[in-house]
Amino acid sequence: MNVSIINKQGVKSCVLDKLAGDLPVIIAKALEVPGGNLAILKPEQVSLEFSEASPRDIGSDIKIIVFARSNNPRTSTENDLAKAILEKVIALITGVGEECSVNIRLYLMEIGAAEHSSRT
């Protein structure tokens, strides 16, 4: 699972450090599906990528884009899951004592496998 975090230059490093430490756990718990070992998502499986926004970028101070595998047992919609993640991220940032605007985008994707073999 891949997560991109795009922040404006004014976002303090203490906020980004807190996100780096706690965001994998927040996402893993939000996207966890009950039942079976294949449905368990561990924080170690969440890959974070931080980048700084362009000075011309308008909008939120922090944009978090989550690309996750769709799983049929999930009954929540993308919007419900994104809202749950957003609430926890806002609480995390507020706990650090900072104020930032945050935008979360969650994309649940169907991932398929393809196989190709050539004949010689």
26-65 pLDDT tens trace: 998 888 776 655 557 788 989 999 999 999 988 899 999 9
Q: What is the tally of structural domains in the chain?
A: 1
What is the extent of the structural domain holding 35?
Answer: 6-109
- E strand map for the chain: 2-7, 47-52, 62-69, 102-109
Q: How many Å from the N-terminal Cα to the C-terminal Cα in the chain?
A: 36
Report if residue 30 sits inside a domain.
Answer: yes
Report if residue 100 sits inside a domain.
Answer: yes
| Domain CATH for 78 | 3.30.429
Report if residue 114 sits inside a domain.
Answer: no
- Four-point Cα dihedral 22, 19, 82, 40, nearest 10: -30
Does the pTM exceed 0.75? yes
Selected residue with higher pLDDT from 102 and 70: 102
Do residues 32 and 71 touch, judged by C-beta distance below 8 A? no
- For residue 32, the model assigns a pLDDT of 78
Top-confidence range, 6-20, 40-54, 106-120: 6-20
- Give the pLDDT band (50/70/90) at residue 89: very high
- Burial (CB count within 10 angstroms: exposed 0-12, middle 13-18, buried 19+), residue 55: exposed
